[in-house]
Amino acid sequence: MITYGIIPNGFGPEIIFNDRKRIFFQPSTFYEGIFLGMPPEEKKEIFERNNYDYSELEKEVMKVKGSKKLTNRRGIQKGDVGGTVGIVIVNSRRHGGRSDENKNRIASYTVMVKGAQLLDGKLQDTFDISCNCKDSLYKGLGEFTNRKVCCAHAAAALYALYSGHESLKECKPMLKGEIFLPFVVDEDLAAYVVKSRYIDGRKLFNIDKELMRRDILSPHLEDLVDDGRVIFTCSKKKEEYPDGLGIKMWKIRKNLLEMGYKREGIAKEFDGNCYWNYSIDKDTDLRIMPNIDEGTVSVMKVTYVDGMSRDEIIRKFGRNVGYGRDPLRRRMRVYKTFELKYPDKSELRWIIGR
Ligand SMILES: [Zn+2]
How confident is the model over 79-125, as pLDDT tens digits? 888 778 888 888 875 444 444 444 545 578 889 999 999 988 889 99
On whether residue 2 sits in a domain, the answer given is: no
Question: In this structure, is residue 264 part of a structural domain?
Answer: yes
Average pLDDT, stretch 223-242? 85
* Burial zone of 284 (CB within 10 Å; 0-12 exposed, 13-18 middle, 19+ buried): middle
Quick check: is 96 in a domain? yes
Interval between CA 109 and ligand 1 midpoint (Å): 6
CB 265 within 8 A of CB 232: yes
DSSP reduced 3-state for 11: strand
Same domain, 19 and 154: yes
Distance CA 276, CA 272 (A): 11
**Could you tell me which of 264, 203, 204 has the C-alpha nearest to residue 33?**
204
What are the backbone dihedrals phi and psi of residue 148, each rounded to the nearest 5 degrees, phi first?
Answer: -125, 160
Going from the Cα of 11 to the center of ligand 1, the distance in angstroms, rounded, reads: 18
- Rounded to the nearest whole angstrom, what is the distance from the C-alpha of residue 46 to the centroid of ligand 1? 24
Same-domain status, 153 and 194: yes
Assess whether 38 and 185 both reside in one domain. Answer: yes
Q: Is residue 234 part of a domain?
A: no
Tell how far the Cα of 132 is from the centroid of ligand 1, in angstroms: 6
Taking CA 172 as the corner, what is the angle to CA 170 and CA 173, rounded to the nearest 5 degrees? 150
Distance 235 CA to ligand 1 centre (A): 16
Residues forming a β-bridge with 234 = 11
Residues 266 and 190 in one domain: no
Q: For residue 96, what pLDDT is reported?
A: 43
> Quick check: 64 and 49 in contact, CB under 8 A?
no
Distance of CA 210 from the midpoint of ligand 1 (Å): 23
Taking the centre of ligand 1 as the mean of its atom positions, its distance from the CA of residue 164, in whole angstroms, is: 20
25 alpha carbon to ligand 1 midpoint, in Å? Answer: 13
How many angstroms is it from 213 CA to the middle of ligand 1?
Answer: 26
**C-alpha of residue 304 to centroid of ligand 1, in Å:** 37
Residues 163 and 252 occupy one common structural domain: no
Residue that finishes a domain, picked among 191, 226, 261: 226
Q: What is the mean pLDDT of residues 309-328?
A: 66
Position 231 in a domain: no
Distance from residue 154's CA to the centre of ligand 1 (Å): 6
Residues 117 and 164 in one domain: yes
43 and 134 share one domain: yes
Name the residue range of residue 294's domain: 239-353
- Are the C-beta atoms of 331 and 325 separated by less than 8 Å? yes
Q: What is the DSSP letter of 4?
A: P
Percent of the chain with pLDDT over 70: 84
Choose one of 167, 191, 226: the last residue of a domain: 226
Same domain, 306 and 209: no
pLDDT at 309 over 90: no
- Rounded Cα–Cα distance for residues 149 and 126 (Å): 16
Total domains, the chain: 2
Residues with CB under 5 A from ligand 1 (ion): 109, 131, 133, 136, 151, 153
249-265 pLDDT per residue, tens? 889 988 988 888 877 78
Span from the CA of 231 to the centroid of ligand 1 (angstroms): 22
State mean pLDDT over 143-152.
75
What element of type H or E holds 29? helix 27-37
Q: Are residues 208 and 339 in the same domain?
A: no
How many angstroms does the Cα of residue 195 sit away from the middle of ligand 1? 21
CA of 253 to the centre of ligand 1 (A): 29
In a domain, 131, yes or no: yes
Strand partners, 334: 302
Confidence at 321, pLDDT banded by 50, 70, 90: low
Same domain, 46 and 73: yes
Mean pLDDT of 325-347: 75
CA of 98 from ligand 1 middle (Å) equals: 19
CA of 177 to the centre of ligand 1 (A): 24
- Ligand 1 centre from 129 Cα, in Å? 10
- Asked if the structure places residue 232 within a domain, the reply is no
Quote the pTM value: 0.82
Question: Based on the domain organization, do 222 and 244 belong to the same domain?
Answer: no
191 and 289 housed in the same domain:
no
CA of 88 to the centre of ligand 1 (A): 11
Find the 215 Cα to ligand 1 centroid distance in Å: 26
Give the integer Cα–Cα distance in Å for 297 and 248: 7
pLDDT at 92: 73
At a CB cut-off of 8 Å and minimum separation 6, what does 17 contact?
23, 125, 127, 229
Best mean pLDDT range from 38-42, 52-56, 141-145: 52-56
